Every structure is written in structure tokens, then in C-alpha cells.
Amino acid sequence: SQRALQIPEILHLIILYLDDQTAIPHEAPPQRRRPLSLRHAILIYGDTNLAHQVWEEALKEEATSASKMFKDDKRRLYNCLLVNKQWHEITKQVMYKRLHFCDDVDWRRFVDQHPPCLRRTHSDLLVLHKLKNAKQRDIEQIEFTGGNLKWLEFYMCPSIMPTPNLLLGGQLKKVILPGCILADDHFLKLVSKQCPQLETLDLRACDQITDDGLVYLARSCRQLKLLNVGRKMGGEKVTNRGMREIARYTAVNTLGAAGCHIDDQTMAEIALYRGPGIERLSLNNCHLLTNESISRILAYTPNLAVLELRGCLQITDMKTILTFKKFQEHLKRSPLIEGCEVFEARMRDAEWAMELEISRNIFRDCLEWIYADDTDTNKF
């Protein structure tokens, strides 16, 4: 067995297995967003005890930081570096394939030990998770990791953005940059040119992105499936002009447009061009949307699984939403439709009105049957 561990090919497979068991730092997608208040939780769940439990859990801060959680998971590979020279060399090769950091100390050590060089590492993945002390000059120093990347993520690293060399190779399928204050239309134009296979692009809270950048993206990245340009500021920079291009020219099935100035015409374009392909829509705080959007989007998106409408106060047609939801439940599907306190209160009122209408219809049918003519229509 000891001889087997000295064979490079076998040892490489063992180290690869260990690397596959190492979790990559990432944002875990919630099953549903946390309630905005205790009253909101009660409106969502209908059960006071359950609502209190959910609200208390939402208020609790995570006891374990992301850096500590993922750092502990990485120690198995670090131990392999210390066995002998052969183990060190093979482990190093494997670790360079998937580079991910969630601790500022580890990141600083990596940057300091790698002066700028031209030698490519053929890394498939580069993930920086909540490194608020990372600087743009650090990214320029380690851009030798580009050329073969398929996944590039700077999660909540506001002061850094990918360099052109990191985007090289044409292999990138996932670019995730939420909270990047440097990303703009020029960067999006660069992505459009160098990432033709792009499928996932997360630009939440990247307030400098405008319709111009989305037009570049739509014309070049036809395989795009997930796009998130949701924001709290600068919503007027993303309108129907940019979203229309995305709907027409890409394969988008998950679209995040929270806070953007899109309107009913935008929803009509999405329904027309992407219809059955749409699975998730985040439209929180899109204040221009009205009931016309709901009737259009729900009629043409039979595979819609998630619809977020928090802050869309002009939408009052709850009956159409409930009808869609009940029809989907009849098909053994469970669509998640979320809103704010006002939205959930309207949904509750609409549910009560619908149940009352059903009860009235049943009562009316019973009365008609009771007072119907008792004449036997069967003639022999």
C-alpha cells in the first residue's frame, strides 16, 4: 500500500479526491428571503408560533464566520503539503487548479509569495470571498492565474475587479462580482468580447452598470442563463432598453432586476421572447410595474418557480397571482411568490375573498339542486 502512494498517478487521484471534498466559499442561496418584520413573518406563514421561530432565527447572527468555516475545511490539503517532496509538488499542482480564499491572512500570504510573472497556472477557478482588504494591485499581481478560468468570483470585495488577463482564454462560464464599485460598462464590454461562453453573471449592487453595457452583453453572450443586476441605487440606469436586448438575444432563465426602472413593456418583452424559459424573476422594488405586468408574465411563463415582488405597491391584482399559484399546485409544483408586508396582507385578503366566493358558489348550487323540479326525466 505504501508503494502505491509513491506512484504519481495514484497519488494525484487521491489528492484530487481530497480537493473535491473541500468546500468552495460561496453564498448559500436561501430557500426564501428572511421576513422584513415579525408581522411580515406572521403574514407569510400564517402560524404565530412558526412566525416567531423564523423571526428569531433571522435575528441571530451567525456564530461561525465564513473564513473560519471554510478555513477548517482546507486543512486536509495543507497537511498533504508537509508529507514529502513528491506529495508537496502534486498537492501544489492540484491546489492551483482551484484557488479560493476567504481569509485575509491567507490571501496576503499568497500574494506576497507570488511576484508578477508570465507563467500561467492553468487554474479553473478563482474565488475571493469577503476579502475587504484586498487591493486592485493584488489582482494585477496574480493575473497569471488567468487564461483557463471557468469560474471567477469576487464576492463582496468592493475595491477590486478582474483584469483583462484574468478574462482571457474564452473559457469563463461564471463571473460573480456582487458589490463591485469598479465594474462599469467598459468592463462589461470587455466581458462581452472575451467571454463568449458566459452562462452566469452576477452584478448585484454594481451601480455603474447601465443599459449600454447590457446591450454589449446581450449581443455577444448568447448562452447567458443567469443575470442579476439588482440594485438599491442607480435604478434609472437599467431600463427597458437594456432588458429588452437581454430577453431577445440570450437564453436567460433567471433574471434579477430588483430596483431597476423596468416597466410593463419590459415584462411584455420578457414574456414574448423568453416565456416558457423563465424560471426565476426578482422584481423587488421595481416601482413602475403595475397589474398589467402580472397578467402578461404569468400567462406566458408556465415554468416560473420563483417570483419576488417586494415593494411593488402598484400591483394589486392578487386574484391573478392566486389563480396561477393554485394551477401550479394542481400540477404538483410549488411556486414561491414573495412580497413585502403590504403585498402579503393583500394576498391574505384575496385568499379569503376567493374562499368566500367558492363557498357562495357551492351554497348557490346546493340551493338550485334543492329547489329544482322533481320531475323524472327518464322515460321508458
Look at residue 109 in the predicted model and tell me its pLDDT. Answer: 85
Of 315, 253, 265, 262, which is closest to residue 290 (Cα–Cα)?
Answer: 315
Whole-Å CA distances, 81 to 15, 85, 123, 286: 10, 8, 18, 51
CA angle at 286 for the pair 231 and 48, rounded to the nearest 5°? 95
Look at residue 12 in the predicted model and tell me its pLDDT. Answer: 66
Say how far apart CA 330 and CA 325 lie, in whole Å.
9
* Cell, residue 60: 441571530
Q: Are 193 and 221 a contacting pair, CB within 8 Å?
A: no
Q: Mean of the pLDDT values across residues 130-141? A: 91
The answer, yes or no, to whether residue 64 has pLDDT greater than 70, is: no
44-53, 91-100, 190-199: lowest mean pLDDT where?
Answer: 44-53
Dihedrals phi, psi of 317, to nearest 5 degrees: -80, 75
131-145, 184-198, 243-257, 266-280: lowest mean pLDDT where?
Answer: 131-145
Contacts of 349 (CB under 8 A, 6+ apart): 318
Return the H-helix or E-strand segment holding 228: strand 226-228
Look at residue 1 in the predicted model and tell me its pLDDT. Answer: 46
The answer, yes or no, to whether residue 162 has pLDDT greater than 80, is: yes
% of the chain with per-residue pLDDT over 90: 48
Look at residue 365 in the predicted model and tell me its pLDDT. Answer: 86
The answer, yes or no, to whether residue 24 has pLDDT greater than 80, is: no
How are beta strands 151-155 and 174-176 bridged, if at all? parallel
Contacts of 195 (CB under 8 A, 6+ apart): 167, 170, 172, 175, 221
Task: Report the 10 Å Cβ neighbour count for 167.
Answer: 23
- Residue whose entry in the numeric block shows the C-alpha cell 366566493: 357
The answer, yes or no, to whether residue 151 has pLDDT greater than 90, is: yes
65-69, 154-158, 243-247, 319-323: lowest mean pLDDT where?
Answer: 65-69
Q: Mean of the pLDDT values across residues 10-14? A: 68
58-67, 133-142, 291-300, 370-379: lowest mean pLDDT where?
Answer: 58-67
The answer, yes or no, to whether residue 247 has pLDDT greater than 90, is: yes
Find the DSSP H helices in the chain: 8-20, 38-45, 48-59, 66-80, 85-97, 104-112, 136-141, 185-194, 211-220, 240-249, 264-273, 291-300, 318-330, 341-370
% of the chain with per-residue pLDDT over 70: 74
Whole-Å CA distances, 209 to 283, 325, 374: 17, 34, 73
* Cell, residue 153: 468570483
The answer, yes or no, to whether residue 342 has pLDDT greater than 60, is: yes
Look at residue 144 in the predicted model and tell me its pLDDT. Answer: 80
The answer, yes or no, to whether residue 380 has pLDDT greater than 50, is: no
Look at residue 221 in the predicted model and tell me its pLDDT. Answer: 96
Look at residue 97 in the predicted model and tell me its pLDDT. Answer: 82
Look at residue 40 in the predicted model and tell me its pLDDT. Answer: 65
Buried-exposed string 298-323: b where 16+ CB fall within 10 A, e elsewhere: bebbeebbebbbbbbeebebbebbbe
Residue, of 116 and 365, whose pLDDT is higher:
365
The answer, yes or no, to whether residue 309 has pLDDT greater than 80, is: yes
Look at residue 122 in the predicted model and tell me its pLDDT. Answer: 78
Q: Mean of the pLDDT values across residues 209-226? A: 96
Model confidence over 72-93: pLDDT tens digits? Answer: 555 666 666 666 777 667 667 7
The answer, yes or no, to whether residue 378 has pLDDT greater than 90, is: no
Look at residue 204 in the predicted model and tell me its pLDDT. Answer: 94
The answer, yes or no, to whether residue 268 has pLDDT greater than 90, is: yes
Residue, of 274 and 344, whose pLDDT is higher:
274
**28-35: long-range contacts at Cβ-Cβ below 8 A with a sequence spacing of 24 or more?**
32/336, 32/338, 33/308, 33/310, 33/338, 34/58
Whole-Å CA distances, 371 to 16, 360, 364: 78, 16, 11
Question: Residue 16 carries which side chain, given as an amino acid letter?
Answer: L
Say how far apart CA 98 and CA 209 lie, in whole Å.
29
Residue, of 274 and 355, whose pLDDT is higher:
274
Whole-Å CA distances, 97 to 4, 100, 146, 154, 373: 24, 10, 11, 17, 82
* Cell, residue 241: 432598453
pTM attached to this predicted model: 0.80
159-163, 314-318, 351-355, 369-373: lowest mean pLDDT where?
Answer: 369-373
Say how far apart CA 37 and CA 322 lie, in whole Å.
23
Say how far apart CA 262 and CA 211 lie, in whole Å.
11
How are beta strands 336-338 and 306-308 bridged, if at all? parallel
* Cell, residue 90: 502534486
